[in-house]
């Protein structure tokens, strides 16, 4: 961090409510306090079929609160689905939004909110285009996963499948009014999902800590989130019924979201976004696979910070020189992700790629306007190409050329 003048948000505009069964205790009261009459619930079919959404709607029905459900949300929500959500919101006379789910549902709810009061199409507001000029309707979010951080950030990720690209819509207006962090809603998640989203939260914290825009406030949140995830993610993966471990990971995810909301993200996300857009790899899995290779690339930019992170994963490294400790981090992360059964590369996709595919992915990564500029090391396309070649199964001819 430089010594130039800095401006900080003294408090997060989002009211965060954390605790077991906090949704049942607080949600209806908070909705009534807004004075709104009809709730637009944004969720996905998986949560609906699992009965998670029933726990929310039961609360609303008990209190006589009116709502309409929209559950046709894809992983990495499509732009046109967002516009369909807007139509449903308007046709049913809704006046507030409640997003229930992980990052996709929350990003969808934010994007629909943008369109309620701003004209045009959601892709008009992707980063580098139009600015969101009008506030969203009241937006409440209930996070049902342990890795997104979207419940406390001012961004929404929108996918345009026609070009296989993910875009960022960003504005302070996208910060939710209230976020409910209720660990009881995560207890039935498949353990593979917990692992991937938990590592996603770890990436959020680590990239925020090493970002060019890092600040002491973001650093504190990020480091504590890393400590909590390192301590509790393997335990909650092995013992899904451990409420304390699951609660700690869920809270750490929100803290990591706060950190990257202040400091931004980096090259891991630049490279993972195209993998999700083109190959539909779950965002957390893509982040987890790419993370060690980006650490190896970035480490020379800030040995001290990468050493700080390494010491969390191996306390004995506090006795080593910063450079030596930092150089151990990538291997430590590979060992940690392996402990929760994250694949070491993208071989599970069952595809072979060639130089043209790698080139296209690298171009998309370099065009990620929100992450490339704040990565701790200046990024060149040829280095991104090399990272992709290390994690993607190349055809034999290409791999050994």
Instruction: Provide the domain limits for residue 289.
Output: 191-399
Residue 323 lies in a domain: yes
CA distances (Å), origin 201, targets 121, 225, 230, 291: 30, 8, 11, 12
Domain assignment present for 124: yes
Answer whether residue 98 shows pLDDT above 70.
yes
Side-by-side strand order, sheet with 15-18: 15-18, 178-181, 138-143, 96-101, 38-42, 66-70
Domain co-membership, 170 together with 258: no
Is residue 235 included in any domain, yes or no? Answer: yes
Residue where one domain finishes, among candidates 163, 186, 209: 186
248 and 365: one domain? Answer: yes
Identify whether 6 is part of a domain: no
Q: What pLDDT shows up at residue 396?
A: 44
Last residue of a domain, one of 159, 186, 213: 186
pLDDT in tens, 172-182: 999 999 999 99
Same domain, 274 and 370: yes
Q: Is residue 1 part of a domain?
A: no
CA dihedral over 6, 11, 16, 19, signed as positive or negative: positive
Query: Are 342 and 213 part of one and the same domain?
Result: yes
Tally of structural domains, the chain: 2
**CATH number, position 379:** 1.20.1090.10
What CATH number is associated with residue 124? 3.40.50.1970
Residue 64 CB-density burial (10 A; 0-12 exposed, 13-18 middle, 19+ buried):
exposed
Q: Categorize the per-residue pLDDT at 398 as very low, low, confident or very high, splitting at 50, 70 and 90.
A: very low
User: Which pLDDT score, from 0 to 100, does residue 395 have?
Assistant: 55
Any domain includes 2: no
DSSP secondary structure letters along 300-358: GG-HHHHHHHHHHH-GGGGGS-HHHHHHTHHHHHHHHHHHTT--SSSGGG---B-HHHH
Residue % of the chain over a pLDDT of 70: 95
pLDDT digits (tens, 9 = 90+) for 352-389: 889 999 999 999 999 988 899 999 999 999 999 999 99
Residues 140 and 195 in one domain: no
Indicate if 179 and 284 belong to the same structural domain. Answer: no
- Low-confidence winner among 6-15, 157-166, 200-209 (lowest mean pLDDT): 6-15
* Residue 6 reports pLDDT greater than 60: no
- Domain termination residue (choose one: 171, 186, 201): 186
Same domain membership, residue 121 and residue 233: no
Please state whether the predicted TM-score (pTM) of the whole model is above 0.85: yes
Are residues 356 and 214 located together in one domain of the fold? yes
* Tens of pLDDT, residues 123-140: 999 988 999 999 999 999
Predicted local confidence at residue 47, as pLDDT: 86
157-198 pLDDT, tens digit per residue, is 999 999 988 899 999 999 999 999 998 888 888 889 899 999
pLDDT per residue as tens digits for the range 140-152? 999 988 878 889 9
Same domain assignment for residues 20 and 147:
yes
pLDDT digits (tens, 9 = 90+) for 226-245: 999 999 999 999 998 898 99
Average pLDDT over residues 261-285: 93
Looking at per-residue pLDDT, the higher value among 326 and 55 belongs to 326
Calculate mean pLDDT across residues 281-290: 94
In a domain, 8, yes or no: no
Run of H or E residues at 178: strand 178-181
Distance CA 135, CA 146 (A): 28
């Amino acid at each position: 961090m430089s010594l130039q003048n800095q401006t900080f948000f003294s408090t997060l505009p989002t009211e965060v409510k954390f605790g077991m069964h906090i949704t049942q205790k607080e949600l209806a009261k908070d909705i009534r306090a807004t004075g709104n009459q009809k709730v637009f619930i944004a969720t996905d079919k998986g949560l609906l079929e699992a009965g998670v959404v029933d726990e929310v709607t039961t609360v609303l029905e008990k209190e006589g609160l009116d709502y309409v459900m929209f559950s046709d949300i894809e992983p990495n929500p499509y732009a046109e689905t967002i516009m369909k959500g807007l139509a449903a919101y308007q046709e049913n006379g809704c006046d507030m939004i409640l997003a229930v789910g992980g990052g996709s549902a929350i990003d969808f709810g934010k994007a629909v909110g943008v369109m309620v009061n701003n004209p045009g199409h959601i892709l008009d507001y992707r980063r580098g285009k139009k600015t969101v000029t009008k506030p969203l309707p009241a937006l409440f979010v209930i996070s049902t996963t342990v890795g997104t951080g979207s419940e406390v950030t001012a961004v929404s990720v929108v996918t345009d499948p026609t070009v296989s690209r993910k875009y960022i819509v960003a504005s302070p207006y996208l910060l939710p009014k209230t976020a409910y962090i209720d660990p009881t809603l995560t207890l039935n998640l498949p353990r593979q999902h917990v692992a991937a989203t938990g590592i996603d939260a770890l990436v959020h914290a680590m990239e925020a800590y090493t970002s060019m825009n890092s600040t002491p406030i973001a650093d504190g949140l990020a480091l504590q989130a890393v400590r909590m995830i390192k301590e509790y993610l393997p335990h909650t993966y092995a013992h899904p019924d451990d409420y304390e471990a699951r609660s700690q990971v869920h809270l750490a995810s929100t803290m990591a979201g706060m950190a990257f909301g202040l400091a931004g993200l980096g090259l891991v996300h630049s490279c993972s976004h195209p993998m999700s857009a083109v190959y539909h790899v779950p965002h957390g899995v893509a982040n987890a696979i790419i993370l060690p290779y980006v650490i190896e690339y970035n480490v020379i930019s800030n040995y001290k910070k990468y050493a700080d992170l390494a010491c969390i994963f191996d306390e004995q490294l506090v006795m080593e020189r910063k450079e030596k400790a930092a150089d151990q981090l990538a291997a430590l992360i590979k060992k940690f992700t392996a402990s929760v059964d994250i694949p070491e590369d993208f071989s599970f996709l069952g595809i072979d790629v060639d130089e043209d595919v790698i080139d296209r992915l690298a171009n998309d990564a370099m065009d990620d306007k929100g992450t490339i500029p704040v990565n701790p090391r200046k990024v060149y396309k040829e280095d991104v190409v090399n990272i992709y070649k290390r994690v993607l199964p190349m055809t034999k001819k290409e791999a050994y050329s």
